Amino acid sequence: MNDQWYDEAAGPLVRPYAITRGRIPASDVTLDVATQVMALSGTKRDAVGLTPEHVAILDLCERPLSVAEIAAHVKVPIAVVKVLCSDLIERGEVIVRSPSQSLKAPDRQLLQAVLDGLSKL
C-alpha cells in the first residue's frame, strides 16, 4: 500500500491548520517548549474525536516529554502540538507541568564561601 499522506522529501502533505482545524491553544493553559506532558495512566481512552496525532501524543507520553520533544517525534510544528495538548488537557487525558525554575539569586554568603574556598586552592 502506498502512503499518499507523507512524502519523505517534502514531509507531511496535511497542512498544520488542517490538523488543528484552524484553532489556537486554549488560553487557560500556558504551554511552552519545556512544559512536560504526561498521559494519565489508568484512564480508559475514548478515541472518539481524537486524531491520529492525538493518539500519537498519548502513546508517546507514557513518560513525561516536553512539548518540543513531542513535536519532534510527531513531526508537526510546536504550535500544532500546543493545540493538540490543549485538547487532551480539556479531555482529562494528560497532565502538564512547567519545569520549575528558581528566579532567586544565590545566597551571597554561599558565593563568598565558594570564592574563599577556590582562592585557597
3-state DSSP call for residue 96?
strand
Sorted by sequence, the CB contacts under 8 Å of residue 37 that are 6+ apart come out as 57, 61, 64, 65, 66, 67, 70, 85, 88, 94, 95, 96
Question: HSE of 12 in the Cβ direction (CA atoms, 13 Å)?
Answer: 11
pLDDT in tens, 27-84: 667 888 899 999 987 655 667 778 888 999 999 999 999 999 999 999 888 888 999 9
Q: How confident is the model at residue 1 (pLDDT cuts 50, 70, 90)?
A: very low
75-108 tens-digit pLDDT: 888 888 999 999 899 888 999 998 765 556 778 8
> Rounded distance, CA 103 to CA 45, Å?
38
Is the model's pLDDT at 113 over the cut of 80? yes
- Look at residues 78, 65, 76 and name the one whose alpha carbon lies nearest to residue 25: 78
111 residue type, one letter: L
Asked if the model's pLDDT at residue 117 lies above 80, the reply is yes
